[in-house]
Structure 1
Amino acid sequence: MERPTVSSSSPLHQIALSLVPGVGGVLIRQLISYGGSAEAVLSAPTAKLLKIPGVGEVTARSIRQPGLLATAEQVLRRLEKIGATALFYTDETYPARLKTLYDAPALLYKLGNADLNAPRTLALVGTRQATDYGRRITEEIVQAMQPYGVSIISGLAYGIDIAAHRASVQTGLPTVGVMASGLDVIYPSVHSRTAQEMQALGGLLTEHIPGTKPDPRFFPARNRIIAGLSDATVIVEAAAKGGALITAEYANNYNRDVFAVPGQVSQQFSAGCNKLIRENKAQIYTTPNDLIEAMNWDQDPNSMTAGKSSASVPLPLDFTAQESQIVSMLRQHPGFHIDELSWQSQINMGALASVLLSLEFRGYVRSLPGKRYEVV
C-alpha cells in the first residue's frame, strides 16, 4: 500500500481517531503514515484499512463505528468550556521531546500557558509521603534553577510533586503538571488552587479527555510523559518500589539524565534513591551544582550559535549516509537538540547517539549545553 504525504487534519477528526477502542499512539502513527490524515483514516473503507499492518477486522470495525465524530464534538465543547487545547503529534506545538518516543501519546490536552518546548526542562518526582528533608531539597533545587529559566515538570501528586509545583510558582518558574485524569478532574482535589496558579506561566497536561477520573493504571503511563518531557529527572525521595522509580526507568530508557538524592540507609523513602545510585541507574545528587554542571546549564547560551558558518565546506568522502545527513542538518540548524535531530532525520535515538559520538571523536561536531550539537 503506497503511503501518502502526511497532511494536517481537524482537531475533531484527530480526537475521534484517539477515541477508537484499542487504538493507541503507536497504531495511530501507523494509521496516519498510511492514510495521510485522521480524516482520511476515519473515512477509509474497511478493505483499505485491512491492508495497513497492525489493523485487523476488530480494529477496522472500531474505526468505522458510527458516533465517533459526535463524541469527539462533545470533547471539543468541553475543552472549549475550560479553555483547553488539543495537541496532535503532527502539530508544531506538540512537545518535540516526545515526538521521537515510540510510546508517546498521539494526542495531548493542555490547559494554561506552558511552553512545552522550553529550552530547559527538569522533572522533580518522589514519594507522596515526603519528609521535611525531601521538601527542603525539592525547594532548594527549584530555587537553584531560577537563574537558568528551567521549566519544572511533575505529577501534581501529594508529597514531592506538589512541593515542586508550589516552589516553582513561588520562585516564578514555569511548571507543568502531568495528570492521570482529565484536565477538569484535579486529583487530588486539594491541589486545585495550586493547579490554577500554575497556569499563568505553566499549566496542566494529560492524554485523557475531559471528565476522565484517575485510575491506578493511568499513573504509570502518566510517568512516561513526565520523563519524556524532561531533559533530566531528579528522584528526591522514593521507596524501594513506586511511581518515582517507574519514572526513572522511563527516563533511562529514553536516554535522559537521571539523578537521585541519597538518604539514610535506615529510611524507607531513601531506599529507592539509594538503589538507583547503587545500580548506576542514577547520578548522585548532593548540591544543585551537580545537576547544573552535568547538564551544562552554567554555560553561556549564546555559545550555541557562535562561530562561522560551515555550510559551504564539502563533506568528507568517507562519511556514511547518516553522518552526511546529520552534519547537513546541523549546518542548517546550529544547536539542534538531539530529540529534534532524531525526529527530523528519522534515525532512532540509539543509532543517532552512536553517529554523533563518532562525529564528535573525529572532530566534526561538538556537544553543547542541554544535549544540543553543532558543526565544528
Structure 2
Amino acid sequence: MRHTDLFYLLALQKVDGIGEINAKKLLSHFGTAQAIFSEKPQKLQKIDRIGSVTAAKLQDKSVFKKAEAELRFIESSGISATAFTDDDYPEKLRHCPDAPIVLFSKGHIDLKRKRVISIVGTREITAYGRDFCRELIAALAPLDPVIVSGFAYGVDITAHLAAVENKLQTVAILAHGLNQIYPKAHKKYLSAVMDNGGFMTEFWSSSNPIREQFLQRNRIVAGISEATIVIESAEKGGSLVTAAIANDYHRDVFAVPGRVSDKYSQGCNNLIKTQKANMLTSAADLVYMLNWDLQQPVKSVQKQLFIALDPEEQRVYDFLNKTGKELLDTIALECAVPVFRLSGILLNMELKGAVRPLPGKLFEAI
C-alpha cells in the first residue's frame, strides 16, 4: 500500500463516528480516503447514514497528527499494513461487512490458496482438551492448514504451539497494538510464532488490551477462516461469542463434545445440542464436513509394500488387511488405540494411500 493511501486510511479510522461499515461506504463512493477528506460536507452527508454531524467531523484535521504518529511507528517497526482493497488482504475476511479497513501484521503470513481454520476455547484447558487439540492438529498436518487463534492462555496457545510443532503456519490475532504482547507470560513464544506465521491486529500501538477489544478481535478470528473449532468452553465464554459470529458469517462451526458433568464441556455440548455447531470427534469429521479434497491417487495392493507406515499405522493396516472392512470402534478396540487418536491415524493412512473410508464409518485396507 502506498504511503499516502495508508496515511489517509489511518486518519479516516480516527474520525469519531466512522466505523468500518461507514468507512467502506465512503470509500466505495469517493474512491480513496484522501478524496473523502477533500469533499465538502454537503456531498458527504448525502451518503446513506452519513449525517451532518459525521460530515462535519470529517473536516477535523487533528486526525492527521494521530495518523502521522502511527505511520512513523508502523514504518519504524517493520509492520505490514494491508487495506481491505489490497490483493493480500485475507480473502474470507474481506467478505465480512464489519471487517477492518486496515490490518497490521508482523511475521511471515501467507493465507493465499490456504486452508485456514480457527481454534478457540477456554483459558482453563483440561488434559482432555489439550490432548484433543494436539492430536487434531497433528492429524491435519498433512493437509497443511493455517491454524488461527488468539494467543491467550489455554486452548489458544496450545493450538499455536501444536501448529509450530507440526511445522504448520499459525497466525495469532491480537486485541491490542503490535508494540506489546499479552499475556506477558507468552513472550517466550514470540519467536516460534513469528518464524511459523506471525501476529495480526486491527489495533493501533496506542491500544492496550481491554475486554471490549478482545470481543472485537473475535470477529477477525471467525471471519478470517472457513471454520471455527471450539475445543472446550464453559457455559459462557469468549469462544462462544466467536462461534456466534462465525455462524452470523455463515461459516462452519465445530465443537468437541464432552461429559455432561464437565464444566468446560458445557459450552460445546450446548452448541451441538442447539445445532449451532457440528460435532467434532476426529480430524476425519472436519475433512468430511469441509469437503476437503485429499487428492490422493488410488494405489494398488502391490504398491503398499513401499508405503512407510509407523508401528501404530502398521498394526492398523495389518488388522484391516486380515479382516477386511471394519467399523472405527471395532478397529480401536482390536488395535488398542483410543478412537480420537485412531481417527488421526486413519486420516494419515488415507493420505498415504494405505486405507480408504467407506460409508457408515467403515474402513478397509487398499
**TM tier relative to shorter chain:** 0.7 to 0.9
Give 1:200's aligned residue: 195
CA contact (8 A) 1:185 1:211 kept: no
Give TM-score scaled by structure 2 length.
0.78
| Aligned equivalents of 1:9, 1:47: Cα separation in 2 | 25
Give 1:44's aligned residue: 39
Aligned-partner residue type, residue 208 of structure 2: K
C-alpha distance after superposition, 1:129-186 (max 9, x if no partner): 1111111111111111210010000011110001101111121100011111111121
Give 1:271's aligned residue: 266
SS of 2:29 mapped into structure 1 = helix
CA contact (8 A) 2:93 2:225 kept: no
Q: CA deviation at 1:297?
A: 2.5
Q: CA deviation at 1:289?
A: 0.9
| Aligned equivalents of 1:118, 1:223: Cα separation in 2 | 23
Aligned-partner residue type, residue 295 of structure 2: D
CA contact (8 A) 1:9 1:38 kept: no
Unaligned runs of 5+ in 2: 298-366
| Aligned equivalents of 1:185, 1:247: Cα separation in 2 | 23
Cα RMSD (Å): 1.8
Q: CA deviation at 1:57?
A: 2.4
Task: Please tell me whether residue 17 in structure 1 is matched to residue 12 in structure 2.
Answer: yes
Moved more, 218-227 or 49-58: 49-58
SS of 1:78 mapped into structure 2 = helix
- Which one of the candidate residues 286, 290, 298 is aligned to 1:295? 290
Give 1:307's aligned residue: none
Give 1:159's aligned residue: 154
SS of 1:152 mapped into structure 2 = strand
Q: Which of the two has higher C-alpha Rg?
A: 2
CA contact (8 A) 1:89 1:106 kept: yes
Q: CA deviation at 1:195?
A: 2.9
- Which one of the candidate residues 207, 211, 227 is aligned to 2:206? 211
SS of 1:93 mapped into structure 2 = coil
Q: CA deviation at 1:9?
A: 6.1
Give 1:145's aligned residue: 140
Give 1:249's aligned residue: 244
Moved more, 155-164 or 67-76: 67-76
Q: CA deviation at 1:301?
A: 8.5
Aligned-partner residue type, residue 138 of structure 1: C
SS of 2:147 mapped into structure 1 = strand
Q: CA deviation at 1:196?
A: 3.0
Q: CA deviation at 1:74?
A: 1.0
CA contact (8 A) 1:165 1:194 kept: no
Q: CA deviation at 1:65?
A: 0.6
Aligned-partner residue type, residue 287 of structure 2: I
Q: Which 4+ stretches in 1 moved above 2 angstroms?
A: 296-299
| Aligned equivalents of 2:129, 2:58: Cα separation in 1 | 47
Which runs of structure 2 are paired with 1:104-115 in the superposition (5 Å)? Answer: 104-115=99-110
Give 1:261's aligned residue: 256
Give 1:101's aligned residue: 96
Give 2:165's aligned residue: 170
CA contact (8 A) 1:169 1:198 kept: yes
Give 2:311's aligned residue: none
Q: CA deviation at 1:17?
A: 0.8
Q: CA deviation at 1:117?
A: 3.1
Task: Please tell me whether residue 284 in structure 1 is matched to residue 279 in structure 2.
Answer: yes
Task: Please tell me whether residue 26 in structure 1 is matched to residue 34 in structure 2.
Answer: no
Moved more, 65-74 or 240-249: 65-74
Task: Please tell me whether residue 132 in structure 1 is matched to residue 124 in structure 2.
Answer: no
SS of 1:114 mapped into structure 2 = coil
SS of 2:117 mapped into structure 1 = strand
Aligned-partner residue type, residue 99 of structure 2: A
- Which one of the candidate residues 188, 191, 194 is aligned to 2:183? 188
Which runs of structure 2 are paired with 1:118-129 in the superposition (5 Å)? Answer: 118-129=113-124
Report the CA distance shift for 1:99/1:9 in structure 2 as closer, same or farther (over 3 A). Answer: farther
Give 2:71's aligned residue: 76
Give 1:231's aligned residue: 226
Residue identity over aligned pairs, in percent, reads 41
Aligned-partner residue type, residue 193 of structure 1: K
CA contact (8 A) 2:5 2:32 kept: no
Q: CA deviation at 1:58?
A: 2.3
CA contact (8 A) 1:155 1:178 kept: yes
CA contact (8 A) 2:151 2:160 kept: yes
Q: CA deviation at 1:19?
A: 1.5
Task: Please tell me whether residue 53 in structure 1 is matched to residue 48 in structure 2.
Answer: yes
| Aligned equivalents of 2:251, 2:205: Cα separation in 1 | 30
CA contact (8 A) 1:8 1:90 kept: no
Task: Please tell me whether residue 222 in structure 1 is matched to residue 217 in structure 2.
Answer: yes
CA contact (8 A) 2:84 2:101 kept: yes
Give 2:326's aligned residue: none
| Aligned equivalents of 2:187, 2:56: Cα separation in 1 | 40
Which runs of structure 2 are paired with 1:300-315 in the superposition (5 Å)? Answer: 300=295
CA contact (8 A) 1:152 1:173 kept: yes
SS of 2:211 mapped into structure 1 = coil
Give TM-score scaled by structure 1 length.
0.76
| Aligned equivalents of 2:66, 2:56: Cα separation in 1 | 17
Unaligned runs of 5+ in 1: 1-6, 303-376
